[in-house]
Structure 1
Amino acid sequence: MTDDQPRSLTNRPRLRYAPSPTGDPHVGNIRQAVWSWLHAKRYGGDFIVRLEDTDQARAQPGADRRIFDSLRWLGVEWDEGPDVGGPHGPYVQSQRLDVYHEEINKLLVQNKVRRCFCSPERLDTIREEQRQNKVPPGIRDCCDVDPTEAEERAASGEANVVRFRTPRTGTTVANDLLRGDISFENHTLDDFVLIKSDGYPTYHFAHVVDDHAMEITLVTRGEEWISSLPRHALLFDAFGYERPIYAHASVIKAPGGGKLSKRHGAKSVLEYSDDGYLPDSLLNFLCLTGWGHEDQTIFSRDELLSLFDMANITLASATFDHDKLEWLNGTYIRSLDSATFAKALKARLELDLPPDVARPVDESLVEDIAPLIQERITLMTDAIHLVDFFWVTDVPVPPVEDFLVKKWRDRGPEAATALSTAATKLEAISDSEWNRERIETVLREHAESIGLKAGELLSIVRTAVTGKKVSPPLFESVEIIGKGLSVERLQSAALSLNA
């Protein structure tokens, strides 16, 4: 950060996240929220959530709640917003129509905007003429009705929109925090719509009015909005409002450079939660898609809050690296203290275990199991496939072919005898001696007594007791399952092999 950067960038900045409630926020969208929140919090500012729902046809019921849930799952809290209130509300655009009408009247009085009564057919004709004459597209000077007449026609109920009177000459220069000054020739711009025929504002108008009213000092958004920057700059100037600082970030691209789609990872935030990602790992990953600090890859939340700066965003397009996200998630899982991991595991298992398993699950059982798998999983959803046998009383006996591999191929009766004897020997262990060390000793001695390598016996014991070829450490698992259930499963497997 250099001393000559605008004070509003670091002096209690106010940033906002203004999604449209038309669906669940995906990673590219939520990244802007994360960046804005981090920058605001680093410099003692405020982070505001505002819902831009002026496109009523596309608004989805419940989308606002999913937006809030997504942010809170990531640990992003806001100072002002629809559900927490604040001094600049309402924070939902459809509840601010009176504000927009008041503001548009200011521009109508100053003749900086005009009412347009053109029919859709008339506008289509203009566009076709532009195409044939190879004129830059856009509605300009489609009609210029005397302001008094226009107000009379509007008052009588005649359908109209309100358009901005864009200058026909000159250049509009707008500054971007990341790109510097960007110039736009005014003759290439159209008379863009500010108020639609249904009385609702367009995005262009509402966001300018709201950003001023809510004292937003820094706006971060995707580079696809650069083409709209001159419109917004002209609107701020028409009102005589100070422009906020804009930062247009490069988009996240798919591997290979194409557009990021759902198959590449453009899922909603809550889908990542469902898929077993930790919020801190996704937060870390989103920050790294366009920002970095020296050669550091893994950041704690506190480090991000103390280091992140919007001015250090890179313009190079970030690639959505799914493998890196998974690696980060596994690293975060392994870094959790035992109590935190056990708590996260309990919450995950209560989602993933079969419905006939009683809830809440036994906390002490989870605490016993957690250390056995913390180093073995990459996603929290990996856990269920490793540990369900601890809760499922009737673990299905695996198919015979799962037992009869390698050493045991075509030796079913011998495998059955080995398992049956293992059951007998484990059953003979006293309750006071039932622990991992004693279980290991008994099984290894059993293997030696029948001329087997330990691994040859333990492989079929594992399959019998857990129903899996890969499981948490066997001796600890047998100890936790308990003598009765372990013996029962060994005997069931032996009977299956003798069938």
Structure 2
Amino acid sequence: MTDKPAQTDDDVLGGLAPDQVRLRFAPSPTGLLHVGNIRTALFAWAFARHFGGKLVLRIEDTDTARNTPEGMQFTLDSLRWLNIDWDEGPEVGGAYGPYRQSERMDIYTDVVAKLLAAGKAYHCYCSQEELDQRREAARSAGQHSGYDGHCRALTPEQVQAYIDEGRRPVVRLRMPDRPITFDDLVRGEITFLPENLGDYVLVRANGHPLYPLVNPVDDALMEITHVLRGEDLLSSTPRQIALYEALAEIGIGTGRTPRFGHLPFVMGEGNKKLSKRDPSSSLGEYMERGFLPEGLLNYLALLGWSIGDDRDVFTMDEMIKAFDIRRVNANAARFDPKKCEAINASHMRLLAPAEFAERVVPYLAKAGVLPAEPTAEQRALLDAAVPLVQERMNTLSESVDMLGFLFVDESAFSIDPDAGAKVLTGDAGVVLEATSKALEEVSEWTTEAIEQALRASLIDGLGLKPKNAFGPVRVAISGRRISPPLFESLELLGRDRSLSRIASARAAVATD
């Protein structure tokens, strides 16, 4: 591998017009997407949109043991939630369909037959036991332990003998006996030597086509020009390049091998590769917690790429305009949950208050705080409250704790036990009694009048510090130690509800 040389757009395009660019995102429908998959989809999408090309969504669902219809729907719903759209694929159509591999089996069967007929592939009758024995012997002799080409040149008599034994062959690609070199868009020129590239299996003995066959075949037939994928697939690239070349020789596809770019690993805690089992890796967690799609995508874009000018926060339109695959760093990127949340918080600040209010409704509805379709009165209260909390929240799900107290029915209102135990103790009863008297005398229920009355009563009258003065009041009306600004909250809650909650809290303190 050499250092990545400077490249121009023409080098990246490889002689294509910008609108001829075709990339694909090809997930397996096994459930919600992993953040590494999402970053791959994001970079492919941004690459295609930058040049005005096409993004193809192809579903790799040949693994019947793991793939489900529900997984397929999750995949589509996830991409739509992320606002990553595709130009061809399921539910969209296109000239190169079908776009589900399970619907393309006849195509793979036909291609394999042509590869066999042209001598580009061959049947291998070696049993697993024989393969293991020869590999172990090669390792003991200090030799390469890959497939040794035993079945490359069987005579008709040898083939018949295997058939008579009842052996069912796999199909292997006949790899060229030469180095394979390609110019990786992220890593520069890479060369693989032939001794490290044994003839690999395209089709299992049961006739099931494998990923190393179906993926390049689909790329060739769908005229994919650029492939962005994870670093973990780098070692399979020379084998796929050999298959692209073989397909071109038998007239399948355009004859053009796609340009590859292998994206860096995403590392998690302990500098280990982020796995699907890591709690912070699943898209479902971020949807549940109330991340904005644009916030999550912004952070994932930073895992290996930068927009420049020391900027961390940008819109997806800005990313599309600026995206340059040459700016992707080949070094592994570390996933930092705290920074991810901070980037998301920045995007939440960018929303107009009305849009912010619209986005928190589903989370308030799920918690039973609001109906899915709030009334005009509820929506007006929400619109009034949103400016008080938008700067204080990092995720949309926090709206339940921050705003729920404004909407909950009085019969269902409760004080968080931890907040009550820590705040509604000692002199809290005295504070709440003084608060009640002060608020009862407020003639105009406004933030300014409420603040003036409470400061005069609790700070000037009782000589309390603000924390000790206002903490019990906050817990009494919101049920929590953290809430929107106190005086504004009292105004939004209203006189009657505020006084009622303060009275209930006083009674609880007296009882304790």
Match of 1:447 in 2: 458
Match of 2:413 in 1: 395
Q: CA, structure 1 residues 391+140, in 2 after alignment: closer, same or farther (shift >3 Å)?
A: same
Q: CA, structure 1 residues 133+399, in 2 after alignment: closer, same or farther (shift >3 Å)?
A: closer
Q: Secondary structure at the match of 1:181?
A: strand
Asked if 1 retains the 8 angstrom alpha-carbon contact of 2:138 and 2:144, the reply is: yes
- Tell me the TM-score normalized by structure 2: 0.88
Deviates more, 1:258-267 or 1:19-28: 258-267
> Does 1:33 pair with 2:48?
no
Q: Secondary structure at the match of 2:227?
A: strand
Asked if 1 retains the 8 angstrom alpha-carbon contact of 2:139 and 2:145, the reply is: yes
Q: Letter of the 2:175 partner, please give it.
A: T
Match of 1:267 in 2: 281
| Residues 21-420 of structure 1 mapped to structure 2, 5 A cutoff | 21-143=29-151, 144-146=153-155, 159-167=168-176, 169-240=177-248, 241-254=255-268, 257-261=271-275, 266-294=280-308, 295-353=310-368, 358-361=371-374, 362-392=378-408, 393=410, 394-397=412-415, 402=420, 410-411=426-427, 415-420=428-433
Output one character per residue of 1:11-68: Cα deviation in whole Å (capped at 9) or x when no partner. 4310000112234321111111100001101111000110112222232441111111
- Cα deviation, residue 126, structure 1: 2.8
CA distance in 2, matches of 1:78, 1:156: 50
CA distance in 1, matches of 2:474, 2:391: 19
Output one character per residue of 1:373-413: Cα deviation in whole Å (capped at 9) or x when no partner. 111111222222222212232323566994786xx9744xx
Asked if 2 retains the 8 angstrom alpha-carbon contact of 1:291 and 1:314, the reply is: yes
- Cα deviation, residue 427, structure 1: 4.0
CA distance in 2, matches of 1:316, 1:245: 20
Output one character per residue of 1:172-213: Cα deviation in whole Å (capped at 9) or x when no partner. 222312233322221322221111223221111111110011
CA distance in 2, matches of 1:123, 1:233: 25
CA RMSD of aligned residues (A): 2.8
Quick one: percent identity of the two aligned structures?
37
Residue of structure 2 aligned with 1:434, choices 445, 452, 460: 445
Q: Letter of the 2:487 partner, please give it.
A: F
Deviates more, 1:93-102 or 1:305-314: 305-314
CA distance in 1, matches of 2:430, 2:193: 87
Deviates more, 1:455-464 or 1:443-452: 443-452
Output one character per residue of 1:332-380: Cα deviation in whole Å (capped at 9) or x when no partner. 11121111111112222222346xx544343222212111111111122
Output one character per residue of 1:391-442: Cα deviation in whole Å (capped at 9) or x when no partner. 232323566994786xx9744xxx4354245335434545xx3222222233
Q: CA, structure 1 residues 262+197, in 2 after alignment: closer, same or farther (shift >3 Å)?
A: closer
Residue of structure 1 aligned with 2:435, choices 413, 422, 435: 422
CA distance in 1, matches of 2:94, 2:339: 39
CA distance in 2, matches of 1:333, 1:446: 37
Q: CA, structure 1 residues 147+84, in 2 after alignment: closer, same or farther (shift >3 Å)?
A: farther
- Tell me the TM-score normalized by structure 1: 0.90
- Cα deviation, residue 160, structure 1: 2.1
CA distance in 2, matches of 1:494, 1:230: 75
Q: How many residues are treated as equivalent by the alignment?
A: 489
Q: CA, structure 1 residues 485+153, in 2 after alignment: closer, same or farther (shift >3 Å)?
A: same
Q: Secondary structure at the match of 1:8?
A: coil
Q: Letter of the 1:486 partner, please give it.
A: S
CA distance in 2, matches of 1:461, 1:199: 72
Deviates more, 1:194-203 or 1:137-146: 137-146
Asked if 1 retains the 8 angstrom alpha-carbon contact of 2:353 and 2:386, the reply is: yes
Deviates more, 1:36-45 or 1:176-185: 176-185
- Cα deviation, residue 481, structure 1: 1.4
CA distance in 2, matches of 1:15, 1:493: 61
Q: Secondary structure at the match of 1:136?
A: coil
Q: Secondary structure at the match of 1:15?
A: strand
Q: CA, structure 1 residues 442+266, in 2 after alignment: closer, same or farther (shift >3 Å)?
A: closer
- Cα deviation, residue 104, structure 1: 1.1
Match of 2:252 in 1: none
Q: Secondary structure at the match of 1:7?
A: coil
Q: Letter of the 1:112 partner, please give it.
A: K
CA distance in 2, matches of 1:338, 1:127: 65
CA distance in 2, matches of 1:271, 1:358: 23
Output one character per residue of 1:313-350: Cα deviation in whole Å (capped at 9) or x when no partner. 12122111222111111111112111111111222222
CA distance in 2, matches of 1:368, 1:249: 45
Asked if 2 retains the 8 angstrom alpha-carbon contact of 1:115 and 1:145, the reply is: no
Unaligned 5+ runs, structure 2: 1-6, 249-254
Q: Letter of the 1:396 partner, please give it.
A: S
Asked if 2 retains the 8 angstrom alpha-carbon contact of 1:217 and 1:245, the reply is: yes
Deviates more, 1:46-55 or 1:176-185: 176-185
Asked if 2 retains the 8 angstrom alpha-carbon contact of 1:397 and 1:496, the reply is: no
Q: CA, structure 1 residues 449+239, in 2 after alignment: closer, same or farther (shift >3 Å)?
A: closer
Asked if 1 retains the 8 angstrom alpha-carbon contact of 2:298 and 2:313, the reply is: yes
CA distance in 2, matches of 1:36, 1:126: 41
Asked if 1 retains the 8 angstrom alpha-carbon contact of 2:144 and 2:195, the reply is: no
CA distance in 2, matches of 1:196, 1:92: 20
Q: Secondary structure at the match of 2:183?
A: strand
Q: Secondary structure at the match of 1:16?
A: strand
Asked if 2 retains the 8 angstrom alpha-carbon contact of 1:416 and 1:498, the reply is: yes
Residue of structure 2 aligned with 1:473, choices 482, 485, 510: 485
Q: Letter of the 2:345 partner, please give it.
A: G
Unaligned 5+ runs, structure 1: none
CA distance in 1, matches of 2:282, 2:341: 16
Asked if 2 retains the 8 angstrom alpha-carbon contact of 1:264 and 1:322, the reply is: no
Match of 1:488 in 2: 500
Output one character per residue of 1:275-297: Cα deviation in whole Å (capped at 9) or x when no partner. 22111111111111111132222
- Cα deviation, residue 256, structure 1: 5.2
